[in-house]
Structure 1
Amino acid sequence: MNTAEALREIKQSFRLYMNGPAAQSMRQKGLNYKLIWGVSLTDLKEIAKEYAPNAELAQALFQEPIRECKILSILLMPIKDLQEHTAEVWMNQIETQELAEIFVLHLLQHEPYANMLVWRWMESNRPLTLLCSFNLVGRLFTQDVLPTEAQCESFIHAAQQALLTNDISLQHTVANAILSLYEADEKFAETMRRHFPQIVEW
């Protein structure tokens, strides 16, 4: 089966799993896709199991303006084949928190360049990129990928600024990242306690 055939088969399979009320709810919450089938993440993972990880198919899926295709593109992209440039391009085109979180969970946290990418993204003015950076850095902290002194200062500054916004999702993600660093290392625990007592002592 070539890429075009696999893409067509995948898109046809969504009809078997479609959930009208879920799709309507997603649209009402502002998910901005041309088409939403309302397929659950659990079902999408089952669909993904039917195909071998394939970078070409993943790229083709990502180009589709369909929620389920975007998610499957991440699930089917081999970790070793996601180049840093492609990660940047995808991040710039991701428009939902759901997809950003799946991107971090299934791909980015496993990439060897993640610790370089995350600090660039933390300087972004784009809300979703910023949210993704804090989600990613929190996961890196739990993997004992700890910041340098300069990176820690950048993290503190970016976190302080993010906590001043009205973005509840961003605030929650930042708080989780702060707690991850607080719990990862005694030296950083004291730094986090000093700068973010309202979070670590909550």
Structure 2
Amino acid sequence: MATLEKVLEIKSQVMHRANGEVAENMRMAGIIYKVNYGVPIPELKELAKPYKGDHDLALELYTEDIRECKILASLIADPEILTGEQIDEWAAGFTNPEIVEQVCGNLFWKSEYALSRSIEWCLSPDELMRKAGLLIVARKASDTTIKESLLEPYIDIIENMAEEMTDLTQSAALFALREIAKRSYDLAAKVKETVSRLTESENELAAWVGNELLFELTE
């Protein structure tokens, strides 16, 4: 079956699974897409299985202005083939936290370009890009082929973004620091020092992250 035929078949299956109530709840929560059929993530994962690794299909799906097509693209794409240019093109389409979480969690963190994009995005003024950068390093922290020295700078980066922390970046910052701390005793000690300072932050969200992790690291 040709790529465009597969796209049409997938779109048909997506529409068949449409859930208007879910789509409306997402819209009310501020998760906005041009087209959203409200198909639950577990169903999308099942739908993606027969197409896994079909990178050309994934690239074509991501061009569709449809929530489900973009998420399916992230589940189908081959991270070993994914180029830095493709990562940048997809990231340019980030418009809400769900698509950031799905694309980074399903695909981007597995790419050889993950950390280079991650550190760049963590330093971005754009909140969604900062969230993306944090989610990638959180996932990548458990990869033992990566040197600890590449993870350490993120501890300071997160501390430096503390005063500007928002609901968008709070959970991702917590996730990243927690996973970095799990990597080694030395990194855990550095994270503990940092979160001790965060507890005194004037930003309530950053202070919450500090208190939460300080409790975990001193148990």
**Common fold: TM-score over 0.5:** yes
| Contact kept in structure 1, 2:52 and 2:75, CA below 8 Å | no
* 2:37 is aligned with 1:37: yes
Match of 1:69 in 2: 69
Show structure 1 runs of 5+ residues with no match: none
Moved over 3 A (4+): none
Per-residue displacement from partner, 1:132-153 (whole Å, max 9, x unpaired)? 111111111122334427x634
SS at match of 2:99: helix
Whole-Å separation in 2 of the counterparts to 1:52 and 1:103: 15
C-alpha separation in 2, matches of 1:62 and 1:86: 10
Q: Distance in 2 between matches of 1:142 and 1:27?
A: 34
CA contact (8 A) 1:100 1:132 kept: yes
Q: Which residue of 2 aligns with 1:148?
A: 149
Asked if structure 2 preserves the Cα contact closer than 8 Å seen for 1:92 and 1:129, the reply is no
Map residues 9-48 of structure 1 onto 2, 5 A cutoff.
9-48=9-48
Q: Is 1:8 aligned to residue 22 of structure 2?
A: no
Which letter does structure 1 place at the counterpart of 2:4?
A
Distance 1:60 1:95 in 2: 19
How does the TM-score come out when normalised to structure 2? Answer: 0.84
Residues 80 and 51 (structure 1), Cα distance of their counterparts in 2 relative to 1, 3 Å cut: same
Tell me if 1:185 matches 2:198: no
Correspondence for 1:201:
214
- Residue by residue over 1:114-147, the C-alpha shift from the partner in whole angstroms, topping out at 9 and shown as x without a partner, is 2222111211111111101111111111223344
TM-score in terms of structure 1 length? 0.90
Q: Could you say what the CA RMSD is over the residues aligned between the two structures, in angstroms?
A: 1.8
Residues 1:52 and 1:188: Cα distance change in structure 2 (over 3 Å): closer
* Aligned-residue identity in percent: 25
Decide which moves more: 177-186 or 129-138. Answer: 177-186
| Contact 2:128/2:168 (8 A) holds in 1 | no
**How many aligned residue pairs are there?**
200
Partner-residue secondary structure (3-state), 1:120: helix
| Conserved? CA contact 1:162–1:170, under 8 Å | no
Q: Deviations over 1:49-105 (max 9, x none)?
A: 232432221111111111001101111111222111111111121212111112122
The alpha carbon displacement at 1:40 in A equals 0.6
In the alignment, what sits opposite 1:54? 54
Structure 1 residue 175 displacement after superposition: 1.5
Instruction: Say if 2:188 is the partner of 1:175.
Output: no
Shift of 1:39: 0.3
Gaps of 5+ in 2: 200-209
Distance in 2, matches of 1:118 and 1:50, equals 30
Relative distance call for 1:52 and 1:160 in structure 2 (3 A) is closer
**Structure 2 contact 177–191 (Cα < 8 Å) conserved:** yes
Give me the whole-angstrom Cα distance separating, in 2, the residues matched to 1:166 and 1:116.
22
Residue 158 of structure 1 deviates from its aligned partner by 2.4
Contact 2:124/2:130 (8 A) holds in 1: yes
Give the match for residue 79 of structure 1. Answer: 79
Deviation of 1:157 after TM superposition, in Å, equals 3.5
